[in-house]
């Protein structure tokens, strides 16, 4: 089985539960196409009989009378087809989105956006949406075309096998175009995608290092690189478009061949062949309209399978930390102990931790200091089971967290990560992510502790203010404080605060850290920072140096 076919079959298997809707759409599409064939077949009969006898005969009148209902049937069937196929697509895509969301939540809980530049995630989300092409632009027109070609072959076969051969064979050949064109189109589309990636890099690179680039007077060079990448992309797109154009041309050529074949059959066959020839001509006309959509189906198949490949590649990433087959019952207490921890992000990279020991009793407040890159945030990932240590162990309430389910660990340990993100939803909904049952009062209290209640109170919509995508509605500091409020609201007995004061001005930073003790209300706290202000009053201070934790003074 070709890899493309395998990918597309896997997509279809995701859509299994929507079988009824999807098949219904295909059937209506085939009926609409057949109505068009029937209409032109009747018209052909009417015309040929009328003209041959130079007067309206009973047969011609009958044909024309039958035409009338068909004339309306076809547009109505087309209308229903569009409604049914779109409704089916929406359902199928909704299923795919949810499948992908659940799958990633399970396998890539640390997120996908962190891998490499460019917006891989954004692209995959677009890929999911683009899967509609598989159904709307390939399967539906393909099924309609097959129905039409079969109908033409049967109708003409009755008139004469020779006629059926000259008309139906080119049409049947057109059916082969999508699978024939798809692999080439797929390769061309892959080259387009690659050129697109280069263009994005040529745009993102100089903008990321904008100060350095401008300082070097590099504007002209950056522009040149961008324009060259744009040119390359245009060339690759053109070669893809050329394939599509030639695909379309060959489809058109085949239906023209059928048309001229029908005429030639009449010319060569003399008087006896005329009726069949005219019928063949009109049927070829009817088929041409349906088959015109086919060559594009090849491109649709190619882009759907390319999208499916990226989708499944991300979805099939093995989870970073395998869940235990039979999770142990969650521990009663939540003291944390780390023994002999060794961890490197990749085998060929220097270990972040090498023999780390650490102890955090219930209700303890640990400050973890160190320069950037010392692994402070990595420790959070390990505690939350987003990564697994290569050696040593971490225990929670005396139980190795490797034996606990990820969900059980994360129920006990809440974390304000450095990249904590706000969702495009209300402030209240963003906060309730941490505690779904929390009342407004609890929300205000958390906002108060995070030092952002004033800001929210001043908003006309208060707690119902939408945060915008990634918290775009707020300044960086305000967004950070709302994320902090969310972490404080969580009922988890252990709280990891990774640089909680980022984005707070010095006065607010001091004020927040002074109240840390009361804000965290006797929970265990791990405060990650690169320096202390001296107001935090931690029960222990450790400094991360060379992969180990060394007791330190603030």
Interface residues for another protein in 496-515 (CB under 8 A)? 505-506
- Considering only residues 338 to 357 of the shown chain, the ones binding another protein according to CB under 8 A are 349
**How far is residue 138's CA from residue 245's CA, in Å, rounded to a whole number?**
17
Residue of 274, 315, 508, 532 that binds another protein (CB under 8 A) = 274
- Rule CB under 8 A: choose which of 65, 214, 533, 550 binds another protein: 214
Find the largest Cα–Cα distance for the chain. 111
Residues 108-147 that bind another protein (CB under 8 A): 108-113, 116-117, 119, 121-122, 125-126, 128-129
The answer to whether 65 contacts another protein (rule: CB under 8 A) is: no
**CA-CA-CA-CA torsion for 203, 208, 212, 215, nearest 10 degrees?**
60
Of the residues 104, 146, 428, 511, which one makes contact with another protein according to CB under 8 A: 104
Only segment of 22-30, 168-176, 179-187, 227-235 that touches another protein (CB under 8 A): 227-235
Stretch that binds another protein, among 166-174, 301-309, 429-437, 448-456 (CB under 8 A): 429-437
Distance in Å, CB of 111 to another protein, minimum: 5
Binding residues among 6-25 for another protein as defined by CB under 8 A: none
- Contact range with another protein by CB under 8 A, out of 74-82, 323-331, 361-369, 520-528: 74-82
Residue with tokens 């039979």: 326
Residue 142 DSSP SS3: helix
524-543 residues near another protein, rule: CB under 8 A: none
Is 194 a binder of another protein (CB under 8 A)? no
Pattern of binders to another protein over 382-401, x per CB under 8 A? Answer: --x-x---------------
| C-alpha distances out from residue 266 to 37, 108, 273, 309, 498, Å | 20, 66, 5, 50, 83
Are 488 and 449 contacting, i.e. CB atoms less than 8 angstroms apart?
A: yes
Asked if 252 is part of the footprint of another protein (rule: CB under 8 A), the reply reads: yes
Q: Return the percent helix, strand and coil in the chain, to nearest 5.
A: 65, 10, 25
Query: Of the candidates 194, 219, 391, 440, which one interacts with another protein according to CB under 8 A?
Result: 219
- What tokens appear for 98 in the block? 């949810």
Identify which of residues 158 and 208 has a Cβ nearer to another protein in the complex.
208
Tokens describing residue 274: 């005329």
Q: Per rule CB under 8 A, is residue 244 in the interface with another protein?
A: yes
234 binds another protein (CB under 8 A): yes
Query: How far, in whole angstroms, is CA 135 from its chain's centroid?
Result: 17
Is 69 a binder of another protein (CB under 8 A)? no
CA–CA separation, 288 and 170 (whole Å): 11
Structure tokens at 309: 């490949």
60 binds another protein (CB under 8 A): yes
| Residue 546: partners with Cβ closer than 8 Å, 6 or more residues away | 354
Around Cβ 351, how many Cβ atoms within 10 Å?
18
Show the CA angle centred on residue 44, arms to residues 258 and 272, nearest 5°: 75
Q: Which stretch binds another protein (CB under 8 A): 1-9, 149-157, 222-230, 332-340?
A: 222-230
What six digits make up the tokens of 445? 């209290």
Options 12, 27, 31, 213; binder of another protein; rule CB under 8 A: 213
- Please report how close the Cβ of residue 70 comes to another protein at its closest, in angstroms: 9
Q: Are strands 524-529 and 353-360 parallel, antiparallel or unpaired?
A: unpaired
Q: Of the candidates 24, 31, 59, 87, which one interacts with another protein according to CB under 8 A? A: 87
Integer Cα distance of 241 and 540 in angstroms: 65
Residue 66 binds to another protein (criterion: CB under 8 A): no
**By C-beta, is 47 or 428 nearer to another protein?**
47
Instruction: Output phi, psi for 326, to 5 deg.
Output: -125, 95
Q: Which of 82/540 has CB closer to another protein?
A: 82
**Number of residues engaging another protein in binding (CB under 8 A):** 132
> Does the footprint of another protein cover residue 221 (CB under 8 A)?
yes
> What residues numbered 435-454 form the site for another protein, per CB under 8 A?
436
Rounded Cα distance between 180 and 177, Å, is 5
Among 83, 176, 459, 550, binds another protein (CB under 8 A): 83
Residue 205 in the binding site for another protein (CB under 8 A) = yes
Using CB atoms within 10 Å of the CB of residue 212, give its burial: 0 to 12 exposed, 13 to 18 middle, 19+ buried: exposed
């Amino acid at each position: 089985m070709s890899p493309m076919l395998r990918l597309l079959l896997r997509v279809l298997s995701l859509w299994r539960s929507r079988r009824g809707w999807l098949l219904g759409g295909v059937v209506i599409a085939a009926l609409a196409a057949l109505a068009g064939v029937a209409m032109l077949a009747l018209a052909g009969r009417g015309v040929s009989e009328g003209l041959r006898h130079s007067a309206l005969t009973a047969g011609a009148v009958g044909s024309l009378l039958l035409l009338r209902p068909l004339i309306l049937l076809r547009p109505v069937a087309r209308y229903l087809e569009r409604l049914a196929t779109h409704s089916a697509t929406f359902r199928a895509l909704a299923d795919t989105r949810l499948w992908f969301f659940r799958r990633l939540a399970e396998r890539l809980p640390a997120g996908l956006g962190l891998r490499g530049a460019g917006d891989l995630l954004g692209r995959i989300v677009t890929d999911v949406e683009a899967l509609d092409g598989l159904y709307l632009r390939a399967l539906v027109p393909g099924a309609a075309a097959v129905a039409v070609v079969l109908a033409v072959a049967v109708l003409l076969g009755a008139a004469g096998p020779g006629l059926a051969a000259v008309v139906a064979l080119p049409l049947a050949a057109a059916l082969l175009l999508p699978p024939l064109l798809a692999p080439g189109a797929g390769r061309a589309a892959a080259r387009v995608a690659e050129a697109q990636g280069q263009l994005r890099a040529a745009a993102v690179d100089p903008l990321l290092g904008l100060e350095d680039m401008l300082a070097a007077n590099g504007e002209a060079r950056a522009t040149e690189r961008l324009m060259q990448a744009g040119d390359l992309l245009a060339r690759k797109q053109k070669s893809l478009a050329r394939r599509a154009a030639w695909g379309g041309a060959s489809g058109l050529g085949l239906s023209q061949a059928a048309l001229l074949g029908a005429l030639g059959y009449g010319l060569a066959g003399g008087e006896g062949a005329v009726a069949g020839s005219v019928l063949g001509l009109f049927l070829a006309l009817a088929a041409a309209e349906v088959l015109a959509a086919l060559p594009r189906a090849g491109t649709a198949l190619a882009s759907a399978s390319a999208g499916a490949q990226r989708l499944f590649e991300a979805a099939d990433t093995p989870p970073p930390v395998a869940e235990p087959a039979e999770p142990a019952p969650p521990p009663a207490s939540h003291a944390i102990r780390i023994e002999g921890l060794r961890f490197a992000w990749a085998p060929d990279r220097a270990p972040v931790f090498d023999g780390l020991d650490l102890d955090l009793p219930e209700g303890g407040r640990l400050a973890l200091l160190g320069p950037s890159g010392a692994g402070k945030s990595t420790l959070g990932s390990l505690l939350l089971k987003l990564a697994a240590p290569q050696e040593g162990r971490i225990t929670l309430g005396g139980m190795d967290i490797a034996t606990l389910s990820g969900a059980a660990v994360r129920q006990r340990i809440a974390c304000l990560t450095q990249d904590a993100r706000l969702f495009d939803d209300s402030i209240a909904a963003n906060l309730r992510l941490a505690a779904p049952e929390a009342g407004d009062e609890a929300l205000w209290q958390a906002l108060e502790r995070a030092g952002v209640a004033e800001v929210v109170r001043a908003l006309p919509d208060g707690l119902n203010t939408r945060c915008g995508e990634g918290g775009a509605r707020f300044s960086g500091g305000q967004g950070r404080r709302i994320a902090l409020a969310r972490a404080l609201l969580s009922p988890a007995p252990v709280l990891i605060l990774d640089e909680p004061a980022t984005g707070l001005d010095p006065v607010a930073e001091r004020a927040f850290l002074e109240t840390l003790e009361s804000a965290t209300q006797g929970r265990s706290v791990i405060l990650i920072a690169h320096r202390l202000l001296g107001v935090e009053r931690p029960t222990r201070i450790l400094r991360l140096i060379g992969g180990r934790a060394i007791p330190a003074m603030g």
